[in-house]
Structure 1
């Protein structure tokens, strides 16, 4: 199978579309990364993915402060008050390379960045791909890597 990145704008080039943001979170693009700041709220994208297929999220996160900023992967529903958080993680100051496996069973995936008052959280090199194309490309999968529906980031 051909590898396809399902994330709509992986290097954040050109205008960002289909953005949702709330609170005072704001995003800007520079150096092929999305930089999000704000005291509260979040900044996110809806991403169309296939249902009931193992997926892989890979990205780089650069946080300016410890354990404050976060990333969330949410399975949306037709009722916003019952969206399902598949991942919600905070990061230490500096650069973290993240790899996470998940599955969406219905509706849609939303990728969110929560700055929570830090100076800057930068997200880059975002890849959301089917696991069956990702695994052969990295040498047959990741030995000992969790392959269930959920696993904490970081």
Structure 2
């Protein structure tokens, strides 16, 4: 099966489209990364993914401060004010490589960066792919994989 990255703009080339933000979060693109700042809120993308199919998220995050910036995967619902957290992680200062598995049962998915007052959090090399195409490409998966339901929320 062919590998397909479901994330709409994985190298953040050119102007961002279909991005949305709330609160004070704002994003800019430079050096093939999305840089998000703000004292509150979030900046992200709705991503079309297949439902009830194991998916893989891989990305690089560079945070300017310890344990502040966060990345979330949210299952949207038919109610605009109700969303379900699928994956959430906060990061230490410096570069972190993220790799996790998750499944979206219905409705839709939102990928969101929450700066929480940090001076800069940069996200790059975002991959959202079906696990059944990712696993054979990397030799059966990687040890230490996190799943959305067992990953502690930060």
Task: Give TM-score, length-normalised by structure 1.
Answer: 0.94
TM-superposition CA deviations, 1:34-74 (whole Å, max 9, x none): 00000111101000000000000000000000011100100
CA contact (8 A) 1:36 1:113 kept: yes
Which residue of the partner structure matches residue 54 of structure 1?
54
Deviation at 1:143, TM superposition (A): 4.2
Which residue of the partner structure matches residue 86 of structure 1?
86
Which residue of the partner structure matches residue 37 of structure 2?
37
Output the CA distance in 1 between the equivalents of 2:2 and 2:66: 38
Secondary structure of 1:141's aligned partner:
coil
Which residue of the partner structure matches residue 117 of structure 2?
117
CA contact (8 A) 1:87 1:151 kept: no
Deviation at 1:81, TM superposition (A): 2.7
Deviation at 1:144, TM superposition (A): 6.0
Output the CA distance in 1 between the equivalents of 2:150 and 2:33: 25
Is 1:103–2:78 an aligned residue pair? no
CA contact (8 A) 2:72 2:88 kept: yes
CA contact (8 A) 2:87 2:148 kept: no
Is 1:6–2:15 an aligned residue pair? no
TM-superposition CA deviations, 1:65-95 (whole Å, max 9, x none): 0011100100000112321001121100000
CA contact (8 A) 1:55 1:103 kept: yes
**Greater mean alpha carbon deviation, residues 12-21 or residues 59-68:** 12-21
Unmatched 5+ stretches in structure 1: none
TM-superposition CA deviations, 1:4-32 (whole Å, max 9, x none): 00000000001211111011111000000
Superposed CA RMSD = 1.5
CA contact (8 A) 2:99 2:145 kept: no
Unmatched 5+ stretches in structure 2: none
Output the CA distance in 1 between the equivalents of 2:151 and 2:46: 21
